[in-house]
Structure 1
Amino acid sequence: MSEQQIVVLDPTAGNPEAEQRVLRERGPATRVDILGVEAWSVSDPALLKELLTSKDISKDGHAHWPAHAETVTTWPLAIWVAVKNMFTAYGPDHSRLRRMIAPALSARRTAALQSGIETLVTGLLDDLDKLPAGESVDLREHLAYPVPITVIGQLLGIPVDQRTEFRSVVDNVFATHLTSEEQKANTAALYGLLDALIAAKRTTPGDDMTSVLVTTRDEEGDGSILSDAELRDTLLLMISAGYETTANVIDQALTILLSDPDQLVHVHAGRSTWSDIVEETLRYEPPVKYLPLRYALVDIPLPDGQTIRAGDAILAAYAAANRHPSLHKDADRFDATRPSKEHLAFGHGVHFCLGAPLARLEVTTVLRLFFARFPDAQLAIGHEELQRLPSLISNGHTAVLVRLRPITTN
Structure 2
Amino acid sequence: MGNPSPLVIDATGRDIHGEAARIRARGPVARVVLPGEVEAWAVSSPELLKRLLTDPRVSKDARQHWPRLANGEITPDWPLFTWVAVQNMFTAYGGDHKRLRILVSKAFTARRTAALQPRIEEITRQLLDRIEEAGRDSRTVDLREEFCYPLPIQVISELFGLPEERGPVLRSLVDRLFDTSSDPGEMTAAYERMYALLAELVASKRESPGDDLTSGLIAARDEEGDTRLSEQELLDTLVLMISAGHETTVNLIDNAVHALLTHPEQLAHVRAGRATWDDVIEETLRADAPVASLPLRYAVEDLPLAELGGPDAAVIGKGEAILAAYAAAGRDPERHGKDADRFDVTRADKEHLAFGYGVHHCLGAPLGRLEARIALPALFDRFPGLHLAVPSEELRPVDSFISNGHRSLPVRVS
TM-score (norm 2): 0.95
1:387 aligns with 2:388: no
Q: Note if 1:200 corresponds to 2:204.
A: yes
Q: Check conservation: 1:133, 1:403, Cα contact below 8 A.
A: no
Match 1:318 to one of 315, 326, 340: 326
For 1:233 and 1:43, locate their aligned partners in 2 and report how far apart those are by CA, in whole Å: 28
Separation in structure 2 between the aligned mates of residue 77 and residue 109 of structure 1, nearest angstrom? 33
- Please tell me whether residue 403 in structure 1 is matched to residue 412 in structure 2: yes
Amino acid in the other structure paired with 1:96: R
After superposition, the C-alpha distances for 1:318-372 in whole angstroms (9 at most, x for unaligned) are 0001101111021000000001101010011110011111100101111010011
Q: What SS does the aligned partner of 1:67 have?
A: helix
Deviation at 1:295, TM superposition (A): 0.3
Tell me, yes or no, if structure 1 residue 281 matches structure 2 residue 290.
no
Amino acid of the structure 2 residue aligned with 1:29: V
Q: 1:220 to 1:100 in 2, by over 3 A?
A: closer
Residue 122 of structure 1 is matched in structure 2 by 125
- Superposition deviation, residue 281 in structure 1: 0.3
- Unaligned 5+ segments in structure 1 are 406-410
CA contact (8 A) 1:105 1:358 kept: no
Tell me the equivalent position of 2:174.
Answer: 170
Alignment of 1:174-185 (within 5 A): 174-185=178-189
Per the TM alignment, residue 309 of structure 1 is displaced from its structure 2 partner at its CA by: 0.2
Does the CA contact (< 8 Å) of 1:39 and 1:312 recur in 2?
Answer: yes
Look up the match of 1:338: 347
Aligned twin of 1:214? 218
SS class of match (1:266):
helix
- SS of 2:335 mapped into structure 1: coil
Residues 11-410 of structure 1 aligned to structure 2 (within 5 Å): 11-35=11-35, 36-69=37-70, 70=72, 71-131=74-134, 132-221=136-225, 223-302=226-305, 303-329=311-337, 330-405=339-414
- 1:304, distance to aligned residue in structure 2 (A): 4.1
* SS class of match (1:31): strand
The one-letter code sitting in structure 1 at the alignment partner of 2:144 is: R
Q: In structure 2, give the amino acid aligned to 1:397.
A: H
The amino acid of 2:121's aligned partner reads E
Alpha-carbon distance in 1 for matches of 2:262, 2:27? 32
Deviations 1:61-81 (A, max 9, x none): 111110114213221111110
Q: 2: distance between equivalents of 1:184 and 1:123? A: 35
> Structure 2: which amino acid aligns with 1:52?
L
Paired amino acid for 1:257: L
Given that 2:333 and 2:340 are in contact with CA atoms closer than 8 Å, whether structure 1 keeps it comes out as: yes
Give me the CA root mean square deviation: 1.3
**Secondary structure of 1:353's aligned partner:** coil
Provide, for residues 22-81 of structure 1, a one-character-per-residue CA deviation record: whole Å limited to 9, x for no partner: 110101111111112111000011110110010000001111110114213221111110
Q: Matches of 2:261 and 2:108 in 1, distance apart?
A: 31
Name the SS of the counterpart of 1:21 in structure 2. helix
- TM-score (structure 1 length as normaliser): 0.96
C-alpha separation in 2, matches of 1:76 and 1:93: 26
The letter of the residue matching 1:60 is D
Give the distance between the partners of 1:73 and 1:125, measured in 2 at CA: 42
Deviation at 1:215, TM superposition (A): 3.2
Give 5+ residue unaligned stretches, structure 2. 306-310
Equivalent pair of 2:245/2:364 in contact (CA under 8 Å): yes
Q: Is the 8 A contact 1:144 1:251 kept in 2?
A: yes
Superposed CA deviations along residues 144-193 of structure 1, whole A, max 9, x for unmatched, are 01111111111100000111111111111110111212212112111111
Amino acid at match of 1:336: V
Q: In structure 2, how many angstroms separate the alpha carbons of the residues matched to 1:215 and 1:300?
A: 40
CA distance 1:105–1:204, shift in 2 (3 Å): closer
- Asked if the contact 1:59/1:295 (under 8 Å) is kept, the reply is yes
Of 107-116 and 120-129, the range deviating more from structure 2: 107-116
Residue 133 of structure 1: CA displacement?
Answer: 4.2
Q: Give, as a single letter, the amino acid of the residue that structure 2 aligns with 1:67.
A: R
Q: Secondary structure at the match of 2:404?
A: coil
Q: Secondary structure at the match of 1:294?
A: strand
- The equivalent residue for 1:408 is none
**Distance in 2 of aligned mates of 1:16 and 1:218:** 43
Displacement of 1:125: 0.6
Change in CA separation of 1:49 and 1:219 when aligned onto 2, cut-off 3 Å: closer
Runs of 4 or more consecutive aligned structure 1 residues displaced over 4 Å after TM superposition? none
Tell me what 2:2 maps to: 2
